[in-house]
Amino acid sequence: MGKNLLIVESPAKARTINKYLGSEFEVMASYGHVRDLIPKEGAVDPERDFAMKYAPIDKNQRHVDAITKALKKADALYLATDPDREGEAISWHLVELLNDAGVLKDKPVYRVVFHEITKTAIQEAMEHPRGISAELVNAQQARRALDYLVGFNLSPLLWRKITSGLSAGRVQSPALRLICERENEIERFEPQEYWTVEADATKGEQPFTAKLSVYAGEKVKQFSITNEEHAREVEQTLLRCAQEQAQQPIDTAAPNDSSGVIGELRVTNVERKQRRRNPAAPFITSTLQQEASRKLGFTASRTMRIAQQLYEGIDVGEGAAVGLITYMRTDSVSLSQEAVAEMRSVIASRFGEDKLPSKPQSYKTRSKNAQEAHEAIRPTSAARHPAELRGSLSQEQHKLYELIWKRALACQMKHATINTVAVDLAADSDDRHLLRATGSTVADPGFMVVYREGTDDGKDESGEKFLPELSEGERIPLNAIRPEQHFTEPPPRYTEASLVRTLEEYGIGRPSTYASIISTLQQRNYVEMDGKRFIPTDIGRTVNKFLTEHFDRYVDYDFTARLEDDLDAISRGERDWVPVLKEFWAPFEQRVEEKKNVSRQEAVQARELGTDPKTGKPVTVRIGRYGPFAQLGSRDDEEKPRFAGLRPGQSIDKITLDEALVLFQLPRDMGETEEGEEVQVNIGRFGPYVRFGGKFVSIPKDEDPYTISRERALELVREKKHADANRTIQDFGDGIQILRGRYGPYVTNGEKNVKVPKDREPETLTHEECLEMIANAPARKGRRGASKGGTTKKGATTSSGKSSTAAKAKSGSSGTKSKSASSSKKATSTGSAKKKGSTSTKKSAAGEGSTSGSSTVKSGTTPKSKAKKEKA
């Protein structure tokens, strides 16, 4: 009797699960996606109900071959890929390939889903299999098709209109718009001056501070005091009043610097309150990425990589590898009853019964478009304390596990109770000038003994601020009155944490895409990091400007969110995927056609800086095919315009006319060498250099070609000549040389290099011997390398919209219904998708243009499933 074959996505998960299932199962990994769209035009055909041409992924073909071979000997196939749309699509594609190979035949196929890799969870999943969900697969297919259609139509347009190597994406581009718009806000921002007035007072030995809240009977607002003159006037009024109402003698000559008593304040009101602070909900993908960024300094990609390791299983000394956290791609804050019960037990034993609420805490998902009902991210066992795992985990794994463990336990603990007090103090006898002092103390820390949520500005909102015990009518010594100048600040640039939060609030992207959105923006050089905050580059702003001016609907936040709503509706079976794509494609295709006529000059609109005072010619800056550059003159002039690339740190939007004119100082003539060779300083493709005669020497990175002196340039030339002289063993004067190289001496004629044999001294070689060595040298081989996008075998398979949605099929004894549908991985051209497996593809053996319909996969506890094929 053969074994059952169970497929997961990663080898790490396979090793963990294999130890739980025993000898009746063989567990293998698909290593991510097994098929993808062919990487060329026509992979999605709108004319045929968005038929999709797939091909096996080259990188993973050997893993598919191994699965195919193993299935021949197996009795049944279990598909245990990740519990989301991508995982569902991987299972469907694998079934398609196995059907094509003819190895499924009458073998039953089960889809099993678990959200944590523990023995109990896996056994539970194996007892309740289902069929492949057509709804989830169709939602993934629709997302993949949309990303492909956007990327393969907009990206080439960007190449033609701006520069090569650019990309646009359905989700990536709205994210770029957010960053660019925030930068525009910052640049337009004009700071406003305002002043605050604070008083330093003391009761006994305890100093405290009060802030002016009412002046001359009017409530003090942010811009009530806007200049120093007014602030000093307020200061003197308060000082005079505080001195006049003092009951004790006051030294009016005492300095206003907190060193002595300069007056008295009178307590007019004391207001005490208690407030509750509730724990935050358990982690979902976005909040985990945000907190890991704030508290640990992790990027979103790093957080997800480490979380994947914790999920897939680590040997912590329990006899087998075990998954330490639940599935990390989720937007659900729900927790299982069993998990909550265990958390409450751990809380009671570790922190005391008084930290438990009377009943479990429950949370509702606030995300605009919550996906499938997963659990929140939590430890698979709350009893597994982070301290116990320190020796089994790497430092970064331990930090992230501890963060997840603390957040999960805190969410089931009692609220914190904070005592607050607000005290009003009068500087005058009529209560027309009031100052307010506030304080807070923690009466009961509750959940805060375990966890406190971070903030984007790094301030701890739960920090205590103590005030001395004060009562109405009490007189308090005044030590100083301090006016302070302030200026309003622009909105902060986005951090990874705040960008993910904003994307989530707008409903843009999903748990699986946040990290890849950010990494794509960085890889495309659309954004740079200033500390931990995003700044758009010139190329990023140019791309965003082009898209917002010509494709405004498709970078609109609400439009993108509505499209995500449609994809969610497909996953719930409420909408069919083909009509959704038709609604998107018709106006999008028309817009692309219209914008093909946009000129390159219009697309990369130049910024005019002014006129060169020497020549009277206009100076402009813009993006070119090789980056941002300045232009002196226009193409209509008799004399050709001059061009100069911007220097590092300069940007199109901020460079001034004077700074741009400096760029045209190159090339700089630096005179001649002692041998009469002309010396010039310039910037080339590989950076700044000094040219002498027909040779070049690089200028060090820390030296400026615009300011380098003649003496320094000649020094670099001499150093270069000295190095070349020491490198030359023999020079025969006709281009034939014997040189010292990195791997030993060699003979060269400038085109061919031939290594000197080990049994010969290079100094003894004759001119004739060198000529003979070069003549007998083999021709240089061309560079080897894979073609872009990978190669596609003949016969990329096609699935159409009609045939890719299989008929419903009853599933054995369970009676559930299952659909199977075409689907695939996110578009690599947009870079906005979750990446599973390779994006390179391999040609299928079926023949170019062959079609693959959908296969109906039945599931149930009594398997009687047969794969069927129908023409697309």
Q: Burial, 232: exposed, middle or buried (Cβ in 10 Å; 0-12, 13-18, 19+)?
A: middle
Q: 765: helix, coil or strand? A: coil
How many CB atoms lie under 10 A from the CB of residue 388? 11
631/623 Cα distance (integer angstroms): 11
Answer for the pair 8, 79: CB distance below 8 angstroms, yes or no.
no
C-alpha closest to that of 533 among 492, 568, 483, 582: 492
- Which residue type is seen at 435? L
Instruction: Name the β-bridge partners of 379.
Output: 325
Answer for the pair 634, 618: CB distance below 8 angstroms, yes or no.
yes
852/857 Cα distance (integer angstroms): 15
452/581 Cα distance (integer angstroms): 44
Of these residues, 54, 327, 526, 689, which one is catalytic? 327
Task: Give me the helix-helix angle, 395-410 and 337-351, nearest 10°.
Answer: 100
680/710 Cα distance (integer angstroms): 9
753/363 Cα distance (integer angstroms): 71
Answer for the pair 416, 442: CB distance below 8 angstroms, yes or no.
yes
C-alpha closest to that of 663 among 679, 686, 683: 683
Answer for the pair 393, 317: CB distance below 8 angstroms, yes or no.
no
At 402, list the tokens.
């501890």
Instruction: Name the β-bridge partners of 160.
Output: none
265/586 Cα distance (integer angstroms): 73
Answer for the pair 843, 794: CB distance below 8 angstroms, yes or no.
yes
Alpha helices, H only, 728-871: 767-775
Phi, psi of 298 (to 5 degrees): -85, 145
Q: 475: helix, coil or strand? A: strand
- Which residue type is seen at 805? T
793/822 Cα distance (integer angstroms): 20
How many CB atoms lie under 10 A from the CB of residue 680? 16
Residue 114 gets the label, from left (phi > 0), alpha (psi -120 to 50) or beta, of beta
C-alpha closest to that of 12 among 315, 299, 301: 315
- Tokens 């047969």 -> residue: 866
Cis check: omega of the bond before 468, within 30 degrees of 0: no
CA dist list (Å): 330 to 285, 685, 686: 6, 46, 46
401/784 Cα distance (integer angstroms): 44
* CA within 13 Å, CB half, 205: 0
331/374 Cα distance (integer angstroms): 7
C-alpha closest to that of 405 among 417, 416, 393, 418: 393
H-helix or E-strand containing 497? helix 496-506
C-alpha closest to that of 243 among 484, 437, 483, 479: 479
327 tagged catalytic: yes
236/481 Cα distance (integer angstroms): 9
526/504 Cα distance (integer angstroms): 21
At 312, list the tokens.
């897939």
655/577 Cα distance (integer angstroms): 48
Active site residues: 327
